[in-house]
Amino acid sequence: MARMTLAEKIGQLNLMPAGEGLLTGTRQPTSLAARLENGQVGAIFGTKSVATARAMQERALAGSRLGIPLFFAEDVIHGHRTVFPLNIGLACSWDMDLIAATSAFAAAEAAAEGLHQVYAPMIDISRDPRWGRVAEGPGEDPSLAGRIAAAAVRGFQGKDPGSKGRVAACLKHFVAYGAPESGRDYDNVSLAWEDLLTTYLPPFAAGVAAGAASVMVAFNAVNKLPMHANGPLIEGWLRAKTGFDGLVVSDYTGVAELTPHGMGPAPVAVARALHAGVDMDMVGEDYLRELPGLAKAGVTAPDAGFALSAAQVTALIDRACRRVLRFKQQLGLLEDPFRGMARSARPPARAKGRALARKAAARAAVLLKNDGLLPLSPKARVTLIGPFAADRANMLGTWAVSGRAEDVTPLHEAVAALTGRAPTVAWGANIVDEPWLVQRLNVHGVTVRQDPRPEAEILAEALAAAATADVIIATVGEAKEHAGESSSRLSPDLPAPQQRLIAALAQTGKPLVVVVFAGRPLALGAVAEQADALLYAWHGGVAGPEGVADLLFGAASPSGRLAVTLPAHPGEVPLTYAAEPTGRPYPGHFAKFRTGWLDMPDDAPGFPFGFGLNYGQVSYGPPRLSRAKARADQAVNLQIMVTNTSARAVTETVQLYASDPVARITRPGRWLIDFQQVTLGPGECRTLRFRVTPDQFSYPLAPSLEDAEWVRDPGLIQLHIGANSRDTQTMDLTWLD
Ligand code: BGC
C-alpha cells in the first residue's frame, strides 16, 4: 500500500459488473475495458466463463502499475449451473449437512468458472410473505437461520476460501432487509433495537462466527439511517461487536441511492458510505468519481450534520483499500492472480450435482396434508393438471442466473420415468389472468405463457382428462418471477384462475393431490380443504419435479418442515409463530375484544412454523428434565423418547422451544432454542438429549444500539418440545439466580 498512489487505492474500491450478467439497476455502467486499462477496477461480478475472467484478469494486470489482480464474484444463490431448491425450500429441510453439501457443490462449480466470491448466503429473516425475496432466504426464525448461515459458510468456504474448489461467502443483506414496510422490496424498516438484536442480527453473528469472509449491506434504511450510511451497525455492531474483519461491499448502486434516500448529493453520500464502513462500491462508480476530490478538500455538509477533513477521507480510503487487498490475499490472488482460472479447470461431475439436487428437492418439500392418499402406487393411473405439470423454466426459481431451463426434467417426464407410464397431462388454468402481469412476470425471459382459449374451455379439457384417472395431481403456484427481487405481492395467495381450477377438480370427487410450486409461503385458503393431499414443493431447481415425483410415489419420504408460517389468509401478514403476547391474547377463535380478525373464519387452515407430515407416525414420550430448578452456572438436560410407530422409516425433526412468562419487557410467545433431526426405522425408538443453558434465556434491553445491555432473570421459564411450533409438551424450569 505504501507504494500505491491515491488513484490506485480508489481504483481498488470500484466493483463493476461484467456486463454479461443481470443488470438490476437503472444505471448503465461505463465501459469496463477503459476502466481495466487504467487500473480503476478492484473486482468484477457476473462473468459467465473462465475465458472471460482470464481475459479480464490479463487486462487488469496490464493496466495496474503494481500488478494488482481483480477478484471475481457472482450471485450463486441456490446453486450455480446446478440449481438447487430455493433457499426457503432448503431451509425447510432443517438439514444442515444437506445445506453445506449444496453450498459446497455450488462453490466447486463457481470456482471452476474462475469465481472467487459468491453473494451468498442470503440470510435475511422474513416474516412477510408479500416480500418476494423470502424465496432467497432462510425463513422466519433467527436460530434456524443462524445454523443455516453457518452451514452455508462452511460449504462455500471449507476451511479456507482460498483453497481449491472453494469461494468466499458474502453474508447479505445487512440488515433487516426482510422486514420492509408493507412487504415492499427496498422499503425502509423501523423496529425496536431489541428486535434487531434478537431477530435480524443473530444470523449475521452466526455467519461471522463461522468465518464468513465478506458481507453485503442492504438497500433499506433501518431506524431512519440507510444501511449504506449506517456506521453504528456496520463499524459499530458488525465489526466492533462480532469481530468481523473481512470485506464489506455495497449492494448494486447502493451508494448512489443514498441521495434519493435524502442523505445528500453524491460527494456527501460517498463520504458517508465510506465512513460507515462500505469498502467497495458496486456498479455506481461514485467512489471513483468523488473520492479524488474528497481526498483533496474533505467534505462539510451542515445540512446533513456531516463533515470529514481531507486527512480523514484519505485515512478512510486507506482503510477500505487495505480490506480489499487483504481479501485478495486471503483468496490467494496476490500470490497467483490466475488462481482457479486454469484453462483446464473442470467443474464437478454434473451427475453428482443432479443427484444431490434431487435429494434436496425431496427434502425441501413439505407435506401439509395427507388423507391416506400418498404415497401413490406406481400402478395408479394419474392425470397431471395445471400450468406446472410440464414446466421447466419456472422450476428453477428466482435468482438462478446460471441455471438453464433445459436442465430441468419436468414433472410429467419425472413421473413417466419413475412409474414406467406417461401420465395424461392437461393445462387446466393459466397461471394468472392479467396480461399486464404476464408481461411483468416475463421480464427476464418468457416463463409464463397464456392459453388464449376461454377459461371454461381449458377447464373442460382438464375435466375430460381427469375422468380417465384414478388420481388427479394438480400442479399450481407461482411463476419464477412471482417471487424474488422487486417482486412484492399485494396478496400472497394462489392466483385466482388456479383457485378456480382446484375448486372444479375437487368437485369431481376424484382423489386429489395438490402440489404447490411457489417462491413464497402462500395463503392457500380453501385449497387446503379441497385437496386430499397437499405438498408444498417451492421451486425445486433442476431436479425439483423429480424430487416431487419421488415423494408422490414413495421413492422418497417426506421430511420437510416449514421454515416459515403459511398464513391462513393473506391479510394477516406479517406473521410469526414467535409473536409477543398481547394483554388480550387470541383464544384460538374469534372473540370480541380479543386479538384476532373479525372477518377470518375460525377454521381457516394455516400451517404453523415447524410443521410437516411424514408418511409414517412418530410418538413422543413424556419429556424429562434433569432438574426442575437450576443455578446460573448449571446446565439442565432434557430427555425425550421418540418412537416410530409405523412400518415406514421416518425422518423426524424434534423441536425445542422456550418461553419466558415474566420478564422486564415483552418477550416472544415462544422461540426456537434447539432442534435435532433423527431417522427412525420402522418401530425404532430413540432417546434424544438436549442441553438447556442459562445463556439461551438472556435478552437485550436496548434504548439504543450503543446502550444495549443483555440481561437474564431468575425465575420460571417454560420449555416446549414437539414436532412443530404448535403441537408441543411443556415443562417448567426455574432459574434460581
Ligand atoms: C441484489 C443483490 C445482488 C446484487 C448483484 C442486487 O440487486 O439486491 O442481492 O447480489 O444485485 O447482482
Q: What atom of ligand 1 comes closest to residue 216's alpha carbon?
A: 10
The pLDDT tens digits for 386-417 are 999 999 999 999 999 999 999 999 999 999 99
C-alpha cell at 639: 430427555
Output the CA 485–ligand 1 centroid distance in Å. Answer: 8
Residues forming beta bridges with residue 108, ordered by sequence position: none
Tell me how far apart the alpha carbons of residues 516 and 661 are, in angstroms, rounded to a whole number.
38
Cα(603)–Cα(28) distance, integer angstroms: 52
21: which residues sit within 8 A by CB, 6+ positions away?
45, 46, 47, 48, 74, 75, 401
What is the phi/psi pair of residue 634, to 5°?
A: -110, 145
What is the atom index within ligand 1 of the atom nearest the CA of 46?
Answer: 12
Going from the Cα of 253 to the center of ligand 1, the distance in angstroms, rounded, reads 9
For residues 121 and 364, give the distance between their C-alpha atoms in angstroms, rounded to a whole number: 17
How far does residue 498's CA lie from ligand 1's centre (Å)? 31
| 96 contacts: CB under 8 Å, gap ≥ 6 | 147, 148, 150, 151
| 163-173 residue pLDDT tens | 999 999 999 99
pLDDT of residue 27: 60
**Whole-number Å distance between alpha carbons of 524 and 537:** 13
What is the chain's percent helix, strand, coil content, to nearest 5? 35, 20, 50
* DSSP letters spanning 590-634: --TTSSS-TTS-TT---B-TT----SS-EEE---EES-SEE-TT-
- What's at 61, amino acid-wise? L
Q: Are 34 and 9 in contact (CB under 8 A)?
A: no
For residue range 311-343, what is the model confidence (pLDDT) as tens digits? Answer: 999 999 999 999 999 999 999 999 999 998 887
Q: How far is the CA of 75 from the centre of ligand 1 (A)?
A: 7
Q: Which value, in Å, is the radius of gyration of the alpha carbons in the chain?
A: 26
Residue from 485, 486, 487, 488 whose mutation best tests the ligand 1 pocket (most atoms within 8 A of CB): 485
The letter for the amino acid at 8 is E
Contact of 122 with 251, CB cutoff 8 Å: no
Q: Are 84 and 90 in contact (CB under 8 A)?
A: yes
Q: Are 216 and 124 in contact (CB under 8 A)?
A: no
Length of the chain: 737
The answer to whether residues 619 and 683 touch, using CB atoms and an 8 Å cutoff, is no
Q: Which atom of ligand 1 is nearest to the CA of 219?
A: 8
Q: Mutation test of ligand 1: which of 252, 283, 481 has the most ligand atoms closer than 8 Å to its C-beta?
A: 252
Candidate list 141, 251, 286, 660, residue with the active-site label: 251
The per-residue pLDDT for 340 is: 84
Nearest Cα residue to 319 out of 344, 291, 300: 291
- Mean pLDDT confidence for 102-119: 97
Q: From the CA of 252, how far away is ligand 1's center (Å)? A: 6
Give yes or no for residue 20 having a pLDDT over 70. no
- Separation of CA 539 and ligand 1 centre (Å): 20
- Measured CA to CA, the distance from residue 522 to residue 324 in angstroms comes to 41
Pocket test for ligand 1, best of 76, 119, 136, 185 (most atoms within 8 A of CB): 119
Q: Which of 22, 27, 48, 75 to mutate to test the pocket of ligand 1 (most atoms within 8 A of CB)?
A: 75
- Give dist(CA 60, CA 701) in Å, integer: 50
Contact indicator for 165, 209 with CB cutoff of 8 Å? no
Atom of ligand 1 nearest to the CA of 218: 8
**How high is the pLDDT of residue 397?**
98
% of the chain surpassing 70 pLDDT? 99
Q: Which of 85, 206, 95, 195 is nearest to 145 (CA)?
A: 206
Query: What number does the ligand 1 atom closest to the CA of 21 have?
Result: 12
What is the distance, to the nearest Å, from the Cα of residue 497 to the centroid of all Cα atoms in its chain?
Answer: 28
Q: Report CA-CA distances (Å) from 432 to 184, 484, 494, 544.
A: 21, 17, 9, 22
Determine the atom of ligand 1 nearest the C-alpha atom of 25. Answer: 7
Q: List pLDDT tens digits, range 417-465.
A: 999 999 999 999 999 999 999 999 999 999 999 999 999 999 999 999 9
State the closest ligand 1 atom to the C-alpha of 282, by its place in the atom list counted from 1: 5
pLDDT greater than 70 at residue 511: yes
Residue 72 CA to ligand 1 center (angstroms) comes to 15
What residues are in contact with ligand 1 under a 6 Å CB criterion? 24, 75, 119, 172, 251-252, 485
Instruction: Report how many helices (DSSP H) and strands (DSSP E) the chain contains, helices first.
Output: 19, 29
Ligand 1 center–CA 360 separation, angstroms? 25
pLDDT band at 24 (very low <50, low <70, confident <90, very high): low
At residue 15, φ and ψ (nearest 5 deg) are -115, 115
Instruction: Give the mean pLDDT of 474-494.
Output: 98
Tell me the CA–centroid distance for residue 354 and ligand 1, in Å: 26
**How far is ligand 1, taken at its centre, from the CA of residue 122, in Å?**
10
- What pLDDT digit, counting tens, does each position of 84-108 carry? 999 999 999 999 999 999 999 999 9
Report residue 424 as a C-alpha cell. Answer: 395424461
pLDDT of residue 560 exceeding 80, the answer is: yes
Query: What DSSP line would sit under 406-421, residue for residue?
Result: GGPPPHHHHHHHHHSS
DSSP string covering 105-171: HHHHHHHTTT--EE---B------TTSGGGGGS--S-HHHHHHHHHHHHHHHHTT-TTSTT--B-EE
Nearest residue by C-alpha to atom 11 in ligand 1: 252
| Distance between Cα 65 and ligand 1 center (Å) | 31
Substitution candidate for ligand 1 out of 77, 251, 443, 481 with most atoms within 8 A of CB: 251
- C-alpha torsion sign, points 381, 385, 390, 392: negative
Per-residue burial over 387-414, b if 16 or more Cβ lie within 10 Å, else e, is bbbbbbbbbbbbbbbbbebebbbbbbbb
Q: Whose alpha carbon is nearest atom 4 of ligand 1?
A: 252
| CA 343–ligand 1 middle distance (angstroms) | 28
Element (H, E) at 685: strand 685-692
Exposure class string for 674-701: b at 16+ Cβ within 10 A, else e: bbbbeebeeeeebebebebebebbebbe
Mean pLDDT of the 122-134 span: 98
Closest residue by Cα to atom 6, ligand 1, is: 252
b (16+ CB within 10 A) / e for 345-354: eebbeeeebb
Nearest to 250 by CA among 230, 267, 225, 236: 230
CA of 439 to the centre of ligand 1 (A): 22
Grid coordinates of 615: 408418511
Ligand 1 atom closest to Cα of 24?
Answer: 7
| Confidence (pLDDT) at 605 | 86
Structure confidence by residue, pLDDT tens digits, 232-260: 999 999 999 999 999 999 999 999 999 99
- Confidence tier at 199 by pLDDT (50, 70, 90): very high
Half-sphere exposure of 49 (CA within 13 A, CB side): 5
Q: At what angle do helices 142-157 and 96-111 cross, to 10 degrees?
A: 40
DSSP state, 70? Answer: P
Q: How far is CA 78 from CA 81, 186, 282, 545, 659, in A?
A: 10, 21, 22, 16, 33
The rounded Å distance from CA 251 to ligand 1 centre is 6
Does residue 251 carry a catalytic annotation?
Answer: yes
pLDDT of residue 342: 84
| H or E segment and range at residue 82 | none
Residue of minimum CA distance from atom 2 in ligand 1:
251
d(CA 506, CA 650): 30
Nearest CA to ligand 1 atom 5: 252
Residue type, position 148, single letter: I
- Give the burial string for 516-542 (b: 16+ CB within 10 Å, else e): bbbbbbbbbbebbebbbbbbbbbbbbb
* pLDDT (tens digit per residue) in 635-692: 999 999 999 999 999 999 999 999 999 999 999 999 999 999 999 999 999 999 999 9
